[in-house]
Amino acid sequence: MPYLAGMARTPAGKPEHPKGLERFHEERATYTVRGSDQPDLQAGAEIIRDTMRTLPNRPGVYRMQDARGDVLYVGKARVLRNRVANYVQWERLPSRLQRMVSQTRSMTIVTTNSEAEALLLEAQLIKRFRPPYNVLLRDDKSFPFILLRADHAFPRIMKHRGARKARGNYYGPFASAGSVNTTINALQKLFLLRSCTDSFFARRDRPCLLYQIKRCSAPCVGRIEEADYAELVQEAKDFLGGKSSAVQRKIEVQMAEAAEALDFERAAMLRDRLRAATFIQGSQAINAEGLDNADIFAMAGKGGQIGVQAFFIRGGQNWGHRAFFPTHTEGLSEEDVLQSFLTQFYEEVPPARCILIDRELPEAELLAEAFREGAGGKVEISVPQRGARRRLIAQATRNAIEALDRRLAERGTQAKTLRELAEFLELAEVPQRIEIYDNSHIQGAKAVGAMVVAGAEGFLKNQYRKFNIRTAQTNDDFGMMREVMARRFARVMEEDPERESGTWPDLVLIDGGKGQMTAVRETVEELGIEDIALIAVSKGPDRNAGREIFHFPDGREKTLPLNSPVLFLLQRLRDEAHRFAIGAHRAKRSRAITASPLDEIPGIGPARKRALLLHFGTAGKVRAASLEDLQRAPGVSKAVAQTIYDFYHPNG
């Protein structure tokens, strides 16, 4: 029986952990249905029935897969056999689950040691596979934190995303990068902590601009002693840890002492620090009095859409709020949606010790048990009934309703604009997937093609693609576009010939004019594709935004009024592709600037390359060196020297 590797978020669930292999065990039970892959309720129920015969009476997670092996649904169970048995009686299931059973062609079972572990694993698998029959949290990109590092004599304060591997104190999550940046700027004024990298710090021989504008104490050039800087670091920890009032009182006392001693320069500096502390506290959007570390969630539902509003309270301070709109919620109760939302939300974010919600959940105790390890202690999940906490829930509920109303209004406007777009471009249906293409290069050098994807709810950035141009001739825009389109559609034809995965575009928008349109049309026709809408957009005779010309495959051209919402949409799509293409080109150009001819030699890593350059001075001198000279270079063995010599002298 193979093990499930790399799925668990908890420490003992990782493969390198001594007990990692003991926690989660995966067993694939695959039963192929003979004949058609069309939805078939009886065939799906038979697959589930055959799987159920082998299931243990243990907690775990099950995955339902279709004929291609794509995951349809991920579920957890206290007793796997009992839970999966419910799907066999398909006539009692709601229509949504009947559709799922009819598509099921295999199942994968993962057993766990407890139901809490199954709950955590379920969230991880949902995040990984994005099944169409699970509630999905699509706004779950990693949240920013403030990191006060502890691996340097003069710790650095910085914004941090992703895995928390660096040594130090993490404070968060914050609702947005903007709120982190604002807070860090204020903290720099308040505590004068450095924000520069260690390499920048080591190279300084005089203070930088941050010292001049009183946002750093310049420890890099000895303007502050290590002990005094450590005191500032401790004050910052106290402030971020909820002791802000004590820190403010301490600064007030120091300011009064400085003024009494007629040290007005120091008194003014302390006054500015006090103002920064007041600014941080005054920027709170809600009154979190009486709470230390807590997360607050409230839900609103309207028009088939659900919105969840979250407030993050840390150290008694509000660190921002954010609205989420989970998808695939049809046919589910709001309590079930909120429970699934919380499980996925805390799959990446460390849970607060206190979680306040606006309604009772069916498995609140199980959630609290599952979150215990991530929170580092007991987690309380409660529904406040009175007092200050109830007022916070009421405020979160108002925010959830307002955010959902804005969302519905925006979606209504977007839907109307997309209908008008379909009418203007003479499309049979409103496009659900739009792909926009552009190229970027300088006289043909470092050419990059870019694909941007947009859907009914905005840009789908995880589906953006860039193409390193390989075959097109120098400065041949049309050839570059042919190469990009040929590679893109040859691949999608190979991976999804039946067009079932949603990766085929309903509309292709090209940044260019008649030439680009001709190149794209001929390329897709050569591939045998004739049913994809193609439109090219050029900026018109004076290249002014607002005078764009839209080129159709048959040679016709159209324009739009300057104030048309459809024009604004198409401009935004075109500009996003342009931005992405330029960014990819600049990144490629930057890598080329720092590249070295030694990079092409097999077996030469950064250390040996550095040693060779230090010894010979330039890559050209390495190329011209004799075999004996290469062998005398430090860190270069005879075998490596022979490799380098043979690379530059293939004929001996």
Tokens (6 digits) for 350: 């460390």
pLDDT for 7: 34
pLDDT for 286: 52
Distance, in Å, from the CA atom of 92 to the CA atom of 69, rounded to the nearest integer, reads 26
Question: What average pLDDT score do residues 545-573 get?
Answer: 86
Tokens (6 digits) for 557: 């051209």
CB-based contact 298:396 (threshold 8 Å)? yes
Alpha-carbon distances, residue 97 vs 211, 316, 500 (angstroms): 62, 44, 20
Distance, in Å, from the CA atom of 535 to the CA atom of 508, rounded to the nearest integer, reads 6
In this predicted model, what pLDDT tens digit does every residue of 483-506 receive, in sequence order? 889 999 989 888 888 887 788 999
Say what the pTM is.
0.66
Q: Where are the alpha helices (DSSP H) in 496-618?
A: 514-526, 565-593, 606-616
To the nearest 10°, report the CA torsion of 355, 356, 361, 363: 20
Alpha-carbon distances, residue 294 vs 33, 324, 389, 485, 491 (angstroms): 50, 18, 10, 50, 48
CB-based contact 340:74 (threshold 8 Å)? no
Predicted confidence (pLDDT) at residue 31 exceeds the cutoff of 50: no
3-state helix, strand, coil in the chain (%, to 5): 45, 20, 35
CB-based contact 518:529 (threshold 8 Å)? no
Which residues fall within 8 angstroms of residue 595, CB to CB, at 6 or more apart?
none
**Amino acid letter, residue 356:** L
Predicted confidence (pLDDT) at residue 364 exceeds the cutoff of 50: yes
Tokens (6 digits) for 478: 């049309």
pLDDT for 3: 28
In this predicted model, what pLDDT tens digit does every residue of 125-147 receive, in sequence order? 988 888 989 888 865 457 788 89
C-alpha 554: how far from chain center: 40
Radius of gyration of the chain (CA): 30
Predicted confidence (pLDDT) at residue 456 exceeds the cutoff of 60: yes
pLDDT for 474: 67
The chain-wide mean pLDDT, for the chain, equals 81
In this predicted model, what pLDDT tens digit does every residue of 6-23 receive, in sequence order? 333 333 344 344 444 444
Given pLDDT bands bounded at 50, 70 and 90, which one contains residue 593?
low
Phi and psi, residue 402, nearest 5°: -65, -40
Instruction: Report the DSSP beta bridge partners of residue 160.
Output: 145
Which residues fall within 8 angstroms of residue 249, CB to CB, at 6 or more apart?
none
Torsion 584-588-594-599 (CA) sign:
positive
